[in-house]
Structure 1
Amino acid sequence: MAEDVDNQGAAVEAGQSQKVLLIVEDDESLARTLKRSFERRGYRVLTAQSHEEVLELLKTDSPGYAVVDLKLNGASGLSCVQTLHAHDEEMNIVVLTGFASIATAVEAIKLGARHYLAKPSNTDDIEKAFDKTEGDAEVELGARPTSIKTLEWERIHQTLADADFNISEAARRLGIHRRTLARKLLKRQVK
């Protein structure tokens, strides 16, 4: 488990209550980059790479903010969202994913996330999402209909999620060859 509690003393000495952020991300490089960036903004940052690590962290800490990757070593980050929301209904949870789909966005919000961002997103995007606690009825509706490629990607991602991110099983359910699915996933991969 990677628990990081650097910089806690500086905010406490200054008499400020420090924002505690949990980053649930299995990509160590991205987690490290986000951690540094949020620490520069005054957050105390904890990190976890799995649902099990989240459960351990919640025994000793109660973060007010969380950034959760949707896909954690093949497992769904939605279980982390559910656990974090059950731990504290007021926690600001943002789901960050390179596999964005309407289905997972809806489920993430139902499970307690405040916002859902597609990668690549930066610290500014995530912090804006933390601050956005209400919906915006004035948001512009897209003038363009969804493309076939986007619909295909959403169908692929939904099938992957339903198959617990097992590529062979997802390919079988989609009726395509496993290698064809693997190539499509490589083309759409976002890091």
Structure 2
Amino acid sequence: MTADTIQPAVAPGEDASLLIVDDDKPFLTRLARAMEGRGFAVETAESVEEAVAKAKARPPAYAVVDMRLGDGNGLDVVAAIREKRADSRTVILTGYGNIATAVTAVKLGAIDYLSKPADADDVVAALTRTGSEPIAPPENPMSADRVRWEHIQRVYEMCDRNVSETARRLNMHRRTLQRILAKRAPR
């Protein structure tokens, strides 16, 4: 798709302010450029501290926030945006997707949760989707290993990220759980 065939994502006159928060500088730069090409007025931040300051100074109409940042959790940014602007539409991006953090993100006000790598079209679709539009079923549903991993992550989050308590509730050895938690999510 060329730049002249990209349709603006927001209507003329509509607040198109967008805050993108990610500590991966090349990804941040590419996404910011792509979103500007789709009609958004983009501001970027590379840390929780910087993003919260920008959100408090000028709360954006839209936000794309990475879950794990160098200085903390992207959910803190979502909460700060929501506190200043309840109608803001925020999407969480992460390379470490799991159901528990997705639920937490939605409870804090995020409207969607996308796994990296997400392209600009996916982000625009998530930001501009209305509640009445159905979400297409996944092309590749989760494997059994992934479902198990998601369950472990959910229990881990419910236990306030306490490894010993999570292991006890899952009836599993603590070291086994630690090894599982240290690995990336299965596909």
Alignment partner of 1:47: what SS?
A: strand
Match of residue 59, structure 2, among 58, 62, 87:
62
Unaligned residue ranges in structure 2 (runs of 5+):
1-11, 168-173
Count of residue pairs brought into register by the alignment: 168
**Cα displacement (A) at 1:103:** 1.2
Give the counterpart letter for 2:144 in structure 1: I
Look up the match of 2:170. none
**CA-to-partner distance for each residue in 1:25-66, whole Å, 9 max, x for gaps?**
111111111111111122121111222212211343221100
Alignment partner of 1:176: what SS?
A: helix
Is 1:114 the counterpart of 2:108? The answer is no
Give TM-score scaled by structure 1 length: 0.71
Unaligned residue ranges in structure 1 (runs of 5+):
1-14, 164-168
**Cα displacement (A) at 1:183:** 6.4
Look up the match of 1:5. none
Look up the match of 2:124. 127
Contact 2:145 2:186 in 1 (8 A): no
**Cα displacement (A) at 1:176:** 2.5
Is 1:19 the counterpart of 2:32? The answer is no
Look up the match of 2:183. 184
**Cα displacement (A) at 1:92:** 0.9
Q: Percent identity?
A: 34
My pick for the range that moved more, 133-142 or 81-90, is 133-142
Give TM-score scaled by structure 2 length: 0.72
For 2:49 and 2:116, the matched residues in 1 are separated by 24
Is 1:148 the counterpart of 2:127? The answer is no
Q: 1:36 to 1:182 in 2, by over 3 A?
A: same
For 1:70 and 1:100, the matched residues in 2 are separated by 9
Report the aligned-residue RMSD: 3.4
For 1:182 and 1:103, the matched residues in 2 are separated by 14
